[in-house]
A and B are shown apart, each in its own frame.
Chain A
Amino acid sequence: MGEDLDKLKIQVNNLNLWYSSFQALKDVNASFKERLITAIIGPSGCGKTTLLRVFNRMNDLVEGVRVAGTVMVDGINVIAPDTDLMTLRRKIGMVFQRPNPFPLSTYENVVFGPRIHGRAGKNELDDIAEKSLQAVLLWDELKDRLDKPALSLSLEQQQRLCIARLIAVRSDILLLDEPCSALDPQATQAIEELMRGLKNNYTLIVVTHNMQQAARVSDETGFMLLGELIEFGETDQIFTRPRDKRTEDYITGRFG
Chain B
Amino acid sequence: MRRLKEFVLQKIVLLCGVASILFVALIFLFLVKEGLNVFKAVSPSHFLLGRSWYPISEPAQFGILPLILGSLLVTAGATVISVAIGVACAVYIAEVARPAVRETLKVGIELLAAIPSIVLGFIGMVTLVPWVKKIFHLPTGLTALSGSIMLAFMAMPTIVSIAEDALHAVPRSYKEGAYALGATRWQTIHRVILRAASPGIAAAVMLGIGRVIGETMAVMMITGNAAVIPHGILQPVRTLTATIAGEMGEAAVGSEHYYALFAIGTLLFVISFGINVTADLLLHKRRS
Contacts and interface: CB of A to CB of B under 8 A. Distances in A.
The judgment on whether A and B are partners is yes
B284 interface: no
B179 A61 contact: yes
A103 B192 CA distance: 8
Contacts, number: 63
A89 B180 contact: yes
Contacts of B192: 102
A89 B178 CA distance: 10
A96 B177 contact: yes
A90 interface: yes
| Chain A contact surface mostly | helix
Contacts of B195: 102-104
B179 A162 contact: no
A89 B174 contact: no
B139 interface: no
A58 B183 contact: no
B182 interface: yes
A180 to B, nearest CB: 16
Q: How big is chain A's contact interface, by range?
A: 20 to 34
Closest CB pairs A-B (n = 7) = A100-B173, A90-B182, A89-B182, A94-B180, A100-B177, A86-B182, A113-B181
A116 to B, nearest CB: 5
A56 B180 contact: yes
Interface residues of B, number: 17
Nearest to B187: A116
A241 B184 CA distance: 45
B182 A61 contact: no
B191 interface: yes
* A90, A100, A115 interface centre (most CB from chain B within 10 Å): A100
Nearest to B192: A102
Contacts of A117: 182
A100 B182 contact: no
Interface in B157-201: 171, 173-174, 176-184, 187, 191-192, 195-196
Nearest to A89: B182
Contacts of A90: 181-182
9 contacts: A61-B179, A87-B182, A102-B177, A102-B192, A103-B195, A104-B195, A113-B182, A116-B182, A169-B182
Interface string A10-37: 0000000000000000000000000000
